[in-house]
Amino acid sequence: MKLLVTLLTLLMLSGCATVQQLEHLNKIEHLPELAKNVIQREFDIVPPPVGEKITVSVYNFQDKTGQRKSTASYANFSTAVTQGAEPFLIKALQDVGQGTWFDVVERTNVDDLIKERTIVKQMRDAYEGKDAKALPPLQFAGIIMEGGIVGYDSSVESGGSAYKWLGIGPQTQYSKDIVVISLRAVSVSTGKVLAAVTVTKTVYSSADSIAMLKFMRDGTQAFEAETGLTLNEPTTLAVKTAIEGAVVELIKEGERKGVWEYKHPWPPEEKSWWKEEQK
């Protein structure tokens, strides 16, 4: 009878964790999903620039940390962050300010672009001869966006709490990592760094569990059980968010230094999500 009561108590206490696990599993779909922009509001309220869009290029935006995934039990050669974050930066530049700020020209795979243009030219010359129509010149950029993922520190903060009453109780643990992004705008004509920013983004991991330890039959038999769930914030999405924040901060920095101007002032009543994250 005591064993039955103990099992029922454990099931009741672990219900929350079990329901959380089931809800998580039920949400798993075998369909692709778009990565949400968590600072979409910040992106949308950036005032447009005075004049035309600024043409920029991105050659590379890579991991410069050399960090590997931290594993205590074995050597892990997987990197802690993505090795090519250029798509995130290109997309952020295109979307910021509702698409009113930057025109991005292709430079990450410029060799493929030049090869394809060469093929087009050769085919036109072969089939049209002297009357072949020439390809228009490639659009050049006035600013190069440089930078990369310059830091990733694991477990900069960790902790937890737990309590037990009559051998039954919950336990919570957490850890915090930090990813650091550097972004700068470089003038093509002079090589001068027009504006530069460095932003950080925290990456959280948490684990919740419920444990039970009971001694029965005058302490001659022990019953122990534990259930829990661990949630880790995706590092790649954290890098994406940090890059989006860096683009917004770079625009602000360029405006403060007179590199460009807003068409109208920044809405003073709007609360900056990114500033709150930095705190």
First-to-final CA distance of the chain? 53
Residue-averaged pLDDT of the chain: 76
Which positions ≥6 away from 195 have C-beta within 8 Å? 184, 185, 250, 253, 254, 257, 259
Q: What is the pLDDT of residues 231-250, one digit of tens each?
A: 777 788 888 888 888 999 99
Q: What is the pLDDT of residue 183?
A: 92
Q: Is the pLDDT reported for residue 165 higher than 70?
A: yes
User: What's the per-residue H, E or C state across the chain?
Assistant: CHHHHHHHHHHHHCHHHHHHHHHHHHCCCCCCCCCCCCCHHHHHCCCCECCCCEEEECCCCEECCCCECCCCCCCCCCECCCCCCHHHHHHHHHHHHHHCCEEEECCCCHHHHHHHHHHHHHHHHHHHHHHCCCCCCCCCCCEEEEEEEEEEEEEEEEEEEECCECCEEEEEEEEEEEEEEEEEEEECCCCCEEEEEEEEEEEEEEEEEEEEEEEECCCCEEEEEEEEEEEECCHHHHHHHHHHHHHHHHHHHHHHCCCCCECCCCCCCCCCHHHHHHC
Q: Distance of alpha carbon 242 from its chain centroid, rounded?
A: 6
User: Domains in the chain and their CATH numbers?
Assistant: 2-29+40-267 (3.40.50.10610)
Q: What is the pLDDT of residue 271?
A: 47
| Residue with more model confidence, 18 or 265 | 265
Cβ(102)–Cβ(56) under 8 Å? yes
Q: How confident is the model at residue 102 (pLDDT cuts 50, 70, 90)?
A: very high
Cβ(104)–Cβ(53) under 8 Å? no
Q: Is the pLDDT reported for residue 162 higher than 50?
A: yes
Q: Is the pLDDT reported for residue 273 higher than 50?
A: no
Q: Is the pLDDT reported for residue 228 higher than 70?
A: yes
Q: Is the pLDDT reported for residue 28 higher than 70?
A: no
